[in-house]
Chains A and B, each alone.
Chain A
Amino acid sequence: MLCRFRSLWFCCAGFAVGSFGAVVIHVGIVFMHAGESHAMDDREVDVSAAGENIEGQQPEPEPESVTEETTTHDEGVELERTIGLVGGLAIGIGTMIGAGIFVFPGLAANEAGPAAALSFAIGGVIALLVALPASELATAMPRSGGGYYFISRSLGTAGGAIVGLGLWLGLVFAAAFYLVGLGHYVVAVFAEIGVTLSLGPAPPHVVLGLIAGAALTALSVAGTERTAALQNVIVVVLLIILTGVLTYGVLDALGLFGRQTVPDTFFSKGYFPVLSTAALVFTSYLGFAQVATVAGEIKRPSRNLPLAMVGSVVIVTVFYAVTILVATSTFGADRLGEFGETAMVNVGRDLLGLPGAVLILVAGLLATFSSANASILSASRSIYALSRDALLPKKASEINLQYGTPHVALAMAGGPILVLVATDSVEILAEVASFLHLVMYALICVALLVLRRRDPSWYDPDFRMPGAPVLPAIGAVASVALIAFMNPASIVIGVVIMVLSYGWYRYYADDVRLKGDI
């Protein structure tokens, strides 16, 4: 093991040594002792942000260097990286699995028939095509903000602002979608014990979604217990339940338990719905980008970021495909479609009786809860990244002195979420969330192509994706193409948000320059 001196940097001691002499003050001579088992890569972050916004606020200076364990600023100030591989996977899987398994199967089967499995597979392939370049960019720039950070540094402030504000609002739409799903599951739980809810003029699942949304936001502001650990536990419990139920379902579908499965034509609804359904269910694949929004807090980013992003996409894709196959072979696509958002409860009941229904209900509650929670936290991180770069007021990332939590950013996530939950339009919410993410995904692919081509000296990713430039080019085209298959209403809302984001940038932060030297 080489004893390498890392990050040997000196900076001016900005304070008086004092008149007492004989005092040596070293400021920030950081070195790793020999015996550090992993390679420490300490790269200079050579992108300097400049300019100021309309309020005269400037982007925060970039850190001195980024190591496997910290992000290091001058004057001996460090930010500890505390999220490991398991934590990263839990964020990715925990965000994604709620939608794909517990909300979409019924809706997707209704639109595409058994070929809905193919729709999920298409979504998975596109997600993978973006997760690979996102991983490469993340190992080159392991900073908070994820896709927003890569794009603002490689394509400039305008693109960064559109993507960054879009990421915040995309997560808001996604969280609203998950909360409506959560509301459906709570209603289903009550239905299971024979209680029909009636909560005022609004449908009960909307009221419950609103309550859950308000409670989650309040919990994020005031909760001091270890939410990250809780998220890990929820994801593990979910995966165990799903693996059990699905294994039984697969064996059952293969006829092992001597039951007839429902035969179906694969493309029962034709070919076009396969693609439009792929666009709809793409919301099930938004979570890997959330791993990148906390890239600044991931330990050993060069190893853990690619593993967490690509790994979570691969794992959920497999779960989705198996779920759809089991679900459609249990009921046939038409009946499945009639069950709507909580179709999986009926699948569980059909396979395993009441215990199966209860298991899926519990899992559905956990999954939609964890997806909504992860999205609210990611939205808050996106707001922090924007405000750090002076694209939003500094006030937006202010920390509450009592709880130590970013109450303004959390309110900026939670407030609009409640408005959107009240609309109760599951498909529009899902599609707009996907739209805003897909725009970012396409630009992530473009950013990778640009950086690979220009190859600036600061661009030194530890993970280089295979198949460039062909695969990222396909990823960019496929991301944009998927948008074309959405409802016109979703496309209009998405475009309006992009235009407003650009308008905000021109009004508020026209003078802010974030692009790196490429």
Chain B
Amino acid sequence: MTRPSVLVPIRVLEGESLPEGVPDLLADAHVVLLGYHVVPGQTAPGQARMQFEEKALARLEEFETVLSNAGATVEHRLVFTHDAQQTIDRQIAENDCLAALVPRALGALEDVLVAVRGTVGIDRLARVVGGLFSDRDIDVTLYHVTSDDETDADVDVLLDGLADRLADEDVDPDRIKTRIDRDVKPVDAIAELAEAYDCVVMGESDTTLATFVFGMPADQVADKFLGPVLVVQREPSDE
């Protein structure tokens, strides 16, 4: 099975380090370890490189060793930038990352909450969950918030389909659970439920006006839930 590639962005020079538990979480991943450093507009990125490259690379290599000791394959990038989001987006695109991690500490990894939005992007979601959590002692809960225009039957088809798919990817069917809620705000519901889990997997949302104003649902969840969030990326659009 191919390892899902996961971007792990770390603000490497601001004391941000590889959080506890992340190496175990990503043991079966191909990790693109992105160390980045944001410089203000008055400073040329190259200027920061002259001064900080050595220190930053040393730290990245430390993290890289920890990740690979846990079982991951790792490649690293170190980017000096004025714009962190642009850098993260470009790395995801260039390295064809299936998911990006919001790096936070977690304890022993026992259960994962997978927020399923709909059929769009479900293949990539399955590849991430299957790739990372198959053949491991980890419970996977598929969670869906039913919207007004969906019937219960629709939702059953959606979640059962995903469960079958994960079983094909060697996730133990006994460990797959499903949970469905109705009449709740998805972001709040996911964040609230997540408290009981060690990690959240969810999709990036389409950019709509609401996401411009309130931020991406994944970001909102990440703001409320204090553990790690794996954000499954949209299919790169072919032009």
A82 contacts which chain B residues (CB < 8 A)?
81-83, 86
A330 contacts which chain B residues (CB < 8 A)?
none
* A25-B74 contact in complex given A35-B238, A69-B90, C-beta closer than 8 Å: yes
Contact B46 A79 (CB under 8 A): yes
Contact B239 A35 (CB under 8 A): yes
How far is B74's CA from A15's CA once the two chains are assembled, in angstroms?
13
Interface residues on B, range: 35 or more
How far is B71's CA from A505's CA once the two chains are assembled, in angstroms?
53
* A80-B83 contact in complex given A26-B75, A399-B43, A406-B47, C-beta closer than 8 Å: yes
Would you give the shortest CB distance from B7 to chain A, in whole angstroms?
14
User: Looking at the complex, which one of A69, A83, A384 makes contact with B47 (CB distance below 8 Å)?
Assistant: A384
Decide yes or no whether B51 CB sits under 8 A from chain A: yes
B90 contacts which chain A residues (CB < 8 A)?
69-70, 80
A405 contacts which chain B residues (CB < 8 A)?
40, 42-43
* A404-B57 contact in complex given A23-B73, A76-B75, C-beta closer than 8 Å: no
Decide yes or no whether A75 CB sits under 8 A from chain B: yes
A interface footprint on B33-66 (CB within 8 Å = 1, 0 otherwise):
0000001111111111111110001000100110
A interface footprint on B69-102 (CB within 8 Å = 1, 0 otherwise):
1010111111111110011001001101000000
Decide yes or no whether B237 CB sits under 8 A from chain A: yes
Stretch binding the partner chain, chosen from A223-231, A341-349, A358-366, A463-471: A223-231
Decide yes or no whether B15 CB sits under 8 A from chain A: no
How far is B86's CA from A27's CA once the two chains are assembled, in angstroms?
22
How far is B37's CA from A80's CA once the two chains are assembled, in angstroms?
10
Interface centre among A22, A27, A77, A82 (most CB of B within 10 A): A77
A457 contacts which chain B residues (CB < 8 A)?
none
Nearest B residue to A22 via CB reads B71
Decide yes or no whether B68 CB sits under 8 A from chain A: yes
Decide yes or no whether A410 CB sits under 8 A from chain B: yes
B86 contacts which chain A residues (CB < 8 A)?
80, 82
Would you give the shortest CB distance from B157 to chain A, in whole angstroms?
31
How far is B206's CA from A131's CA once the two chains are assembled, in angstroms?
42
A224 contacts which chain B residues (CB < 8 A)?
40
A31 contacts which chain B residues (CB < 8 A)?
94
Q: How many residues of A contact B (CB 8 A)?
A: 58
Contact B77 A28 (CB under 8 A): yes
How far is B239's CA from A5's CA once the two chains are assembled, in angstroms?
17
A477 contacts which chain B residues (CB < 8 A)?
none
How far is B94's CA from A269's CA once the two chains are assembled, in angstroms?
62
* A406-B75 contact in complex given A30-B94, A31-B94, A37-B239, C-beta closer than 8 Å: no
8 Å CB contacts to B: which residues of A386-427? Answer: 388, 394, 397-399, 403-406, 410
How far is B95's CA from A29's CA once the two chains are assembled, in angstroms?
9
Would you give the shortest CB distance from B66 to chain A, in whole angstroms?
10
A294 contacts which chain B residues (CB < 8 A)?
44
User: Looking at the complex, which one of B52, B61, B65, B80 makes contact with A80 (CB distance below 8 Å)?
Assistant: B80
Contact A297 B78 (CB under 8 A): no
Would you give the shortest CB distance from A53 to chain B, in whole angstroms?
15
Decide yes or no whether A141 CB sits under 8 A from chain B: no
How far is B82's CA from A384's CA once the two chains are assembled, in angstroms?
17
How far is B141's CA from A184's CA once the two chains are assembled, in angstroms?
69
B75 contacts which chain A residues (CB < 8 A)?
25-29, 76
How far is B75's CA from A26's CA once the two chains are assembled, in angstroms?
5
Contact A404 B39 (CB under 8 A): yes
Extra 11 A-B pairs, beta carbons < 8 Å, given A1-B238, A28-B75: A23-B68, A26-B73, A33-B94, A77-B80, A227-B40, A228-B41, A399-B51, A403-B40, A405-B42, A405-B43, A406-B44
Which residues of B come within 8 Å of A, CB atoms?
39-53, 57, 61, 64-65, 68-69, 71, 73-83, 86-87, 90, 93-94, 96, 236-239
A-B residue pairs in contact (CB < 8 Å), sample of 17 = A18-B65, A18-B69, A22-B71, A23-B73, A26-B75, A33-B236, A37-B239, A80-B86, A80-B90, A220-B42, A221-B42, A227-B41, A294-B44, A297-B44, A384-B47, A398-B51, A406-B43
